[in-house]
């Protein structure tokens, strides 16, 4: 458990509440996103085939936590760092931008069509889908690994939960890069894990490839 979680528990126990933060405001979020869009796209769709990750529809708790981690240099990334310095992104703005991005609607899965949808309506729905191409690998083997080791945190459909990120609909090359960082201990996956004991540490290249291949099938809403 993190220090601030202890503090909050302590405060809750004393009947005190957290200091009130300004309610997240989507319009302010959209303004802030003007800066982020240069790399992550106008709708947070990401870019350059995953050099810039997709942020749209990501879990709000996860987005906030990562911005704080970039700011504190707990997560090291040179392109991101200047945009999270206090001068650029004060804490109050983190609420606004994270809420804006979490609510930015790109679909990860193929849309559901109604019988009444004509060709144009279907086309418009398709344009909101960020389609991650299938990647090579043994999907069935990847599914078995994912279901035994990842599903409890990242969800059956790779949808994520609170500060655990959605993996479905994220660029494969980006996920692969992060897995490499976790395996090398250059990014921390689970703060309770001892260094070098990451849940991903024991996986071979082929097993990672298979899990990533499985994750790309979740885009199709299977
Ligand atoms: C100069 C390009 C650039 C700009 C501008 C930029 N980012 Fe990023 N961002 C990146 C890169 C590159 C990464 C991937 C870091 C990595 O590989 O670890 C990233 C990663 C992230 C992540 C982590 C995503 C994940 O799935 O873990 C978040 C959140 C994020 N950026 C939010 C923002 C926000 C909010 C802004 C605007 C205030 C912003 N970024 C501006 C380049 C940029
Ligand atoms: C105990 C819960 C837990 C388990 C089990 C788990 N993860 Fe995670 N995962 C997380 C958390 C929490 C993060 C965010 C880490 C951070 O704060 O930087 C994360 C982040 C990631 C990321 C980075 C995503 C991004 O947008 O940057 C990838 C990739 C990932 N996990 C893959 C996996 C895979 C594959 C497995 C199964 C082998 C797995 N995880 C098992 C909790 C878990």
Give the CATH number, domain containing residue 189.
1.10.760.10
Residues 136 and 216 in one domain: yes
Name the phi and psi angles at 47, rounded to 5: -170, 180
Q: Which atom of ligand 1 is nearest to the CA of 63?
A: 29
d(CA 168, CA 2) in angstroms, rounded, equals: 27
Percent of the chain with pLDDT over 70: 81
d(CA 178, CA 182) in angstroms, rounded, equals: 6
78-106, pLDDT tens digit by residue? Answer: 888 889 888 889 999 999 999 999 999 87
- Among the listed residues 153, 181, 132, the one whose alpha carbon sits nearest the alpha carbon of residue 62: 153
Residues 152 and 71 in one domain: no
Residue owning the nearest CA to atom 6 of ligand 2: 150
For residue 121, is it within any domain? no
d(CA 56, CA 110) in angstroms, rounded, equals: 16
For residue 199, is it within any domain? yes
For residue 50, is it within any domain? yes
Residues 213 and 149 in one domain: yes
Q: Residue 21: what pLDDT?
A: 59
Q: Which domain holds residue 78?
A: 23-103
Q: Coil, strand or helix: which one is 127?
A: helix
Q: Coil, strand or helix: which one is 47?
A: strand
Residues 94 and 144 in one domain: no
Sorting pLDDT into bands at 50, 70 and 90, what band is 126?
Answer: low
Q: Identify which ligand lies nearest to the alpha carbon of 63.
A: 1
**Is it the case that residue 5 has pLDDT exceeding 60?**
no
**Is it the case that residue 133 has pLDDT exceeding 80?**
yes
Q: What is the mean pLDDT of the chain?
A: 85
Residues 60 and 141 in one domain: no
- Identify whether the C-beta of residue 211 lies closer than 8 Å to the C-beta of residue 150: yes
Residues with CB under 6 A from ligand 1: 32, 35-36, 38-40, 51-53, 55, 63, 66-67, 77, 79-80, 83, 89, 97, 165, 177
Higher pLDDT, 136 or 48: 136
pTM of the model: 0.86
Residues 90 and 142 in one domain: no
Sorting pLDDT into bands at 50, 70 and 90, what band is 20?
Answer: low
For residue 126, is it within any domain? no
Q: Give how many domains the chain has, as a whole number.
A: 2
For residue 111, is it within any domain? no
Q: Identify which ligand lies nearest to the alpha carbon of 192.
A: 2
């Amino acid at each position: 458990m993190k220090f601030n979680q202890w503090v909050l528990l302590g405060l809750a126990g004393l009947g005190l509440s957290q200091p009130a933060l300004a309610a997240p405001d989507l319009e302010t979020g959209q303004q802030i996103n003007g800066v982020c869009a240069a790399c992550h796209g106008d709708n947070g769709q990401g870019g350059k085939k995953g050099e810039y990750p997709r942020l749209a529809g990501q879990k709000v708790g996860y987005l906030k936590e990562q911005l704080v981690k970039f700011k504190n240099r707990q997560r090291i990334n040179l392109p991101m760092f200047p945009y999270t310095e206090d001068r650029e992104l004060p804490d109050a703005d983190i609420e606004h931008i994270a809420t804006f991005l979490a609510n930015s609607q790109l679909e990860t899965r193929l849309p559901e069509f109604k019988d009444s949808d004509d060709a144009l309506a279907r086309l418009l729905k398709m344009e909101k889908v960020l389609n991650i191409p299938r990647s090579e690998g043994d999907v069935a083997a990847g599914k078995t690994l994912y279901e035994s080791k990842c599903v409890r945190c990242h969800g059956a459909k790779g949808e994520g939960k609170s500060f655990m990120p959605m993996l479905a609909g994220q660029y494969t090359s980006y996920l692969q890069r992060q897995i490499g960082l976790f395996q090398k201990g250059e990014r921390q996956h689970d703060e309770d894990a001892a260094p070098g004991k990451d849940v991903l540490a024991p996986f071979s290249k082929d097993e990672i490839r298979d899990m990533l291949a499985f994750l790309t099938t979740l885009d199709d809403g299977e």
